[in-house]
Amino acid sequence: MPLAFSTLGLPDLPLADAARLAAEHGWQGLELRCADGQPVHPAMTAAERRDAVRALDAAGVVPIALASYVGVAAPGPDGPVGAALLAHLRLAADLGAPAVRVFPRGGEGPAAGADLRAVRRLAAVADTAGRLGVRILVETHDSHPTGRAVARLLDPLPHPAVGALWDVMHTVLAGEPPAATAAALGPRLGHLQVKDLAGPDDRTPLPLGSGVLPVPAALRLLPPGGWACWEYEAPWHPSTAPLPPLLAAGAAYLTRQLGCADAPPG
């Protein structure tokens, strides 16, 4: 199973440097944080997009997804959400990324209303996503922290260009065991985000394997060839250890765990 990490863990580092770090420390892919002020953002010019592709190709690193901040279930009009989705889809296609991560952000209102908003907006762009060869992945996050909640949102829209992203922290802290998440998401699953922390009351990022999250159990449930992506949330925790010195050990840890997951029972 291939390994990626999110550039969220390397705030403001140029993309070429992030790709070089990945290649040097045993990571085959990058999940690209996509936001204004970051190396990857929706307003990139055509020349900047070509430069990004060259940087990734030079390092031999695959862009597995754009990590956007679009809230597909957010209260408000559909227009701005749809425009943001299309802009991210086109950027992903230009960069060769097969997916765009989105958040639910359903707000405090009834869950049914949030689900309807999300389905309406996703349905409006799903065919375009399919033509571009890009999947939209709704993350287990905020108003929809479990696999069951995301599956409920997606059930009315069985479109191949719309799927799910599993963030193991949010599902576990919401009380959903890994096996239940995997069963709920099933073939909708795009990739798995792993991370580690000390506990529900302290979400400061820790090196993989040194916290309480059941990362090995989640990895065992990944389909063959599925990406495991380390999301190290450094920007939200300025006092945490920097990511670059942890990359080699993180890749070794995941490789060991994935090796156990792939090994035949004996």
Least confident of 6-10, 22-26, 130-134, 223-227: 223-227
**pLDDT for residue 30:** 98
> Which pLDDT belongs to residue 260?
67
pLDDT tens digits for 192-221? 999 999 999 999 999 999 999 999 999 999
3-state secondary structure of 6: strand
Asked whether the beta carbons of 255 and 3 are under 8 A apart, the reply is yes
Q: Domain count of the chain?
A: 1
Domain that holds residue 131: 3-262
Q: Which of 245, 246, 241 is nearest to 230 (CA)?
A: 246
Q: What is the pLDDT of residue 157?
A: 97
What is the pLDDT confidence band of residue 266, given thresholds at 50, 70 and 90? very low
The domain that holds 228 is classified in CATH as: 3.20.20.150
Q: What is the pLDDT of residues 48-85, one digit of tens each?
A: 999 999 999 999 999 999 999 999 999 999 999 999 99
Beta carbons of 235 and 253 less than 8 angstroms apart: no
